């Protein structure tokens, strides 16, 4: 017996193994809900969470250029929440083997690979697509690029002079260049639920924070990759005391599970009232807490990106990473001393002058200017 493959119905609602969400048999010629795929676009951007979030400005431009497009985004499991609910994305897949198997059976019109991670680049190289942009992998297992427009971002990886001293392009400028999108990039896209907003508002009620209070959030974390982003505990203590005593602000300590100890120490040692907000919020709950603040102080980490997404002014502290790649959209102040050894992108450093030289007095002055 000969077997032949029956071509699938080109409707974004068609599932095959069960009825579509409209619960009807498929008849493309007579179905009022028939929705063709249009351009099938695959985006591969795994991590870190903040970097995934600041990649989202490409979505409205892609949809503008390809109005009927069907967009799949492959990301790391930790980054799923930051993309969930985004109306521009049709599917979110992970790098897990079950999702990869599905992707290998599919084909795309446009593939955009924005990670230098070799697993992501290798996946981009083997998935079928008519047009590919960004990073891929050679048969020798080395990083390569699919299009000439990605050359500048590619060279940043191995040209320290370009990366550390010369570059003045923001991350968004570089990914728009890689994607060959000529439009000016817009804001981050982060979708939260009413339950996330209610969660944050209820905590503010619990802490007896009034609408008239000025609220400054101090994010004490620095992520797992660059410990050199971290500002000293004593500096946060002094800053909290300045904010309490001189500006009469309500000070919130922000962070994840990794900041449980440092936030407890700061809350115990700082003079005046400092609210330890806890360390077990979901990402979107955390975003809504940040969204209720008047100002955030953070190093170059997720909290800074969430503040940008929520359009909250930030005093952003830079040392080992480049301040030029970060766009805070004119809302806030980037603090960077431009020492001869920074940025360096080192995981550890015995010196830490780049962060330690950002004194609490300097940061307090920046806060004062933004809170006027």
By percentage, how much of the chain surpasses pLDDT 70? 96
225 neighbors 349 (Cβ within 8 angstroms): no
pLDDT per position as a tens digit, 240-260? 999 999 999 999 999 999 999
pLDDT at position 9 is 66
135 neighbors 145 (Cβ within 8 angstroms): yes
Mean pLDDT of 204-223: 94
Runs of H (alpha helix) within 134-230: 151-156, 160, 171-178, 194-206
pLDDT at 32 over 90: no
Mapping DSSP onto H, E and C, the string for 268-296 reads: HHCCCCEEECCCCCCHHHHHHHHHCCCEE
**CA-to-CA distance for 345 and 106, rounded, in angstroms?**
37
Q: Given pLDDT bands bounded at 50, 70 and 90, which one contains residue 3?
A: very low
Mean pLDDT of 142-162: 96
pLDDT at position 224 is 73
Host H or E run for residue 217: strand 215-219
pLDDT at position 23 is 66
Q: Which residues contact 71 (CB under 8 A, 6 or more apart)?
A: 41, 42, 43, 59, 62, 63, 88, 89, 90, 91
What is the homologous superfamily of the domain 194-371 according to CATH? Glycogen Phosphorylase B; (3.40.50.2000)
Residue spans per domain, the chain? 40-178, 194-371
Q: Given pLDDT bands bounded at 50, 70 and 90, which one contains residue 38?
A: confident
Q: Which residues contact 165 (CB under 8 A, 6 or more apart)?
A: none
Report the Cα–Cα distance between both ends of the chain, in Å, rounded. Answer: 80
Mean pLDDT of 308-334: 96
CATH 3.40.50.1000 fits 40-178, yes or no: no
Mean pLDDT of 14-27: 72
pLDDT at position 15 is 66
- Average pLDDT in the chain: 92
pLDDT at position 1 is 38
Q: Given pLDDT bands bounded at 50, 70 and 90, which one contains residue 24?
A: low
Distances (CA, A) of 248 to 242, 245, 254, 331, 371: 9, 6, 19, 22, 11
pLDDT at position 4 is 43
Host H or E run for residue 303: helix 302-309
Host H or E run for residue 124: helix 118-126
Mean pLDDT of 99-115: 96
Q: Given pLDDT bands bounded at 50, 70 and 90, which one contains residue 2?
A: very low
Q: 62: buried, middle or exposed (CB in 10 Å: 19+, 13-18, 0-12)? A: buried
pLDDT at 8 over 60: no
Do the domains 194-371 and 40-178 match in fold?
yes
Mean pLDDT of 216-238: 90
> Which has the minimum average pLDDT: 43-52, 55-64, 346-355?
346-355
- What does DSSP say about strands 295-299 and 215-219: parallel, antiparallel, or unpaired? parallel
Distances (CA, A) of 292 to 16, 170, 365: 45, 27, 22
> Which has the minimum average pLDDT: 62-71, 157-166, 336-345?
336-345
pLDDT at position 29 is 72
**CA-to-CA distance for 298 and 142, rounded, in angstroms?**
35
The phi and psi torsions of 251 (rounded to 5 degrees) equal -105, 125
pLDDT at position 35 is 74
The b/e string for 166-183 (b: 16+ C-beta within 10 A; e otherwise) is: ebebbbbbbbbbbbebee
């Amino acid at each position: 017996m000969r077997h032949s493959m029956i071509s699938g119905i080109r409707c974004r609602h068609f599932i095959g193994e069960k009825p579509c969400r409209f619960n009807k048999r498929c008849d493309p010629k007579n179905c009022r809900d028939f929705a063709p795929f249009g351009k099938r676009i695959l985006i591969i951007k795994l991590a870190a969470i903040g970097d995934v979030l600041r990649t989202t400005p490409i979505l409205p431009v892609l949809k503008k250029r390809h109005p009927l497009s069907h967009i799949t985004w492959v990301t790391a499991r930790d980054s799923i929440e930051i993309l969930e609910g985004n109306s521009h994305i049709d599917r979110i897949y992970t790098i897990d083997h079950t999702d990869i198997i599905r992707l290998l059976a599919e084909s795309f019109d446009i593939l955009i690979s924005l990670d230098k991670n070799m697993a992501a680049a290798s996946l981009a190289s083997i998935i079928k697509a008519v047009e590919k942009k960004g990073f891929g992998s050679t048969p020798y297992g080395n990083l390569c690029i699919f299009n000439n427009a990605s050359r500048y971002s590619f060279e940043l990886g191995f040209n320290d002079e370009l990366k550390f001293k010369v570059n003045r392009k923001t991350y968004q400028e570089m990914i728009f260049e890689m994607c060959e999108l000529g439009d000016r990039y817009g804001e981050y896209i982060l979708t939260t639920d009413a339950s996330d907003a209610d969660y944050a508002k209820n905590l503010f009620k619990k802490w007896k924070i009034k609408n008239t209070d000025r609220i400054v959030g101090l994010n004490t974390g620095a992520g797992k990759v660059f410990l050199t982003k971290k500002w000293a505990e004593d500096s946060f203590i002094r800053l909290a005391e300045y904010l309490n005593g001189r500006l009469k602000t309500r000070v919130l300590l922000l962070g994840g599970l990794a900041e449980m100890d440092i936030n407890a120490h700061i809350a115990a040692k700082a003079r005046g009232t400092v609210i330890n907000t806890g360390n077990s919020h979901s990402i979107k709950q955390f975003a809504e807490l940040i969204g209720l603040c008047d100002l955030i102080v953070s190093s170059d980490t997720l909290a800074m990106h969430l503040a940008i997404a929520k359009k909250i002014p930030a005093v952003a502290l830079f040392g080992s990473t480049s301040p030029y790649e970060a766009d805070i959209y004119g809302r806030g102040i980037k603090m960077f001393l431009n020492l001869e050894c920074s940025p360096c992108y080192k995981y550890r450093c015995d010196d830490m002058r780049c962060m330690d030289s950002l004194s609490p007095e300097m940061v307090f002055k920046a806060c004062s200017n933004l809170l006027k």
